[in-house]
């Protein structure tokens, strides 16, 4: 079974600085999808960014980008120019090509210091 | 607003009771997923329905059951409730067929078992 590990339970960063959240996963599959979800205090799950494993180019969405290292099974999230609104729990998630379910990591709580 | 609605937002009940959580997917989405978020287990996939039929099962207890109706809304039934069932229950929906199959999450139902 696939597993997702987020080794940083908590992270903090100064406003306007850059922060990187780590995620590793374990799978024997070659085709899959990876996601980062944000969960603010409202508890709503919001998709931040996604990466298809077959794509070598790292995904980017505005201030959010990923560093996808397929061989190392690593999928980190970089947030540039951190803003107060970025404060949230961030979950890394895996989905295999065939299955539809998401497998989540334990989450990283990100605090933004003004 | 993701377009997925869940009712009720909060539910407080006693051990041994039975409750029903309701989810309405986004317009046009045929697939519905249920996830449980608890302090102990993190975010876990429970079950998936596609156009009225069960498609995949995760770590769903035998005391729990779900169904998807012809109008595509779904209900999650939790019976013989235990203290450990206290959690945030999310419903998500998606259009199966897209390569990345983005899942849109509802706001969740907070269940408290006393």
**Mind listing the pLDDT tens digit of every residue in chain B (114 residues)?**
889 999 999 999 999 999 999 999 999 899 999 999 998 888 999 999 999 999 999 989 999 999 999 999 999 999 999 999 999 999 999 987 655 678 999 999 999 999
Residue A64's pLDDT band (boundaries 50, 70, 90)?
very high
- Mutation target vs A (from B53, B103, B106; most A CBs, 10 A cutoff): B103
Percent residues over pLDDT 90 in chain A: 89
Contact B21, B75 (CB under 8 A): yes
DSSP state of B55: E
CB contact under 8 A, A102 and B103: yes
CB contact under 8 A, A50 and B100: yes
Helix (H) or strand (E) segment spanning residue B64:
strand B64-68
CB contact under 8 A, B45 and A106: no
- Mutation target vs A (from B30, B94, B105, B108; most A CBs, 10 A cutoff): B105
Average pLDDT estimate for A22-26: 97
Residue A24's pLDDT band (boundaries 50, 70, 90)?
very high
Closest Cα partner for A106 from A31, A22, A29?
A22
> What is the reported pLDDT for B77?
98
The residue written with tokens 């009225």 in the block is B52
**Which chain B positions have a beta carbon within 8 Å of A37's beta carbon?**
105
> What is the reported pLDDT for B99?
59
Residues 6+ apart with CB under 8 A from A60: A49, A66
> What is the reported pLDDT for B60?
94
Residue A92's pLDDT band (boundaries 50, 70, 90)?
very high
How far is the alpha carbon of B97 from chain A, nearest alpha carbon, in Å? 10
Contacts 24+ apart (CB under 8 A), A39-44: A39/A88, A39/A89, A39/A90, A39/A91, A39/A107, A40/A85, A40/A87, A40/A88, A40/A89, A41/A88, A42/B107, A43/B88, A43/B107, A43/B108, A43/B110, A44/B2, A44/B105, A44/B107, A44/B108
Residue A76's pLDDT band (boundaries 50, 70, 90)?
very high
> What is the reported pLDDT for A11?
97
How far is the alpha carbon of B17 from chain A, nearest alpha carbon, in Å? 25
Percent residues over pLDDT 70 in chain A: 100
Q: Which of B42, B55, B101 sits opposite A106 (nearest CB)?
A: B42
């Amino acid at each position: 079974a696939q597993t997702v590990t987020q080794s940083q339970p908590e992270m903090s960063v100064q406003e306007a600085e850059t922060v990187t959240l780590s995620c590793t996963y374990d799978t024997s599959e070659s085709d899959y999808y990876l996601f980062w979800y944000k969960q603010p205090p409202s508890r709503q799950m919001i998709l931040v960014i996604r990466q298809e494993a077959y794509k070598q180019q790292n995904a980017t969405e505005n201030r959010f980008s990923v560093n996808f290292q397929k061989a190392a099974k690593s999928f980190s999230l970089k947030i540039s120019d951190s803003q107060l609104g970025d404060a949230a729990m961030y979950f890394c998630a895996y989905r295999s090509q065939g299955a539809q379910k998401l497998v989540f990591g334990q989450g990283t709580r990100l605090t933004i210091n003004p | 607003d993701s377009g997925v609605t869940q009712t009720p937002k909060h539910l407080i009940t006693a051990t041994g009771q039975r409750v029903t959580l309701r989810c309405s997917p986004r317009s046009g989405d045929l697939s519905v997923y249920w996830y449980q978020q608890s302090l102990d287990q993190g975010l876990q996939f429970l079950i998936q329905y596609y156009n009225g039929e069960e498609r995949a099962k995760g770590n769903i207890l035998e005391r729990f059951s779900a169904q998807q109706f012809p109008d595509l809304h779904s209900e999650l039934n939790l019976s013989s409730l235990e203290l450990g069932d206290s959690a945030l229950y999310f419903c998500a929906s998606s259009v199966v067929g897209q390569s990345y199959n983005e899942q849109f999450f509802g706001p969740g139902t907070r269940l408290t078992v006393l």
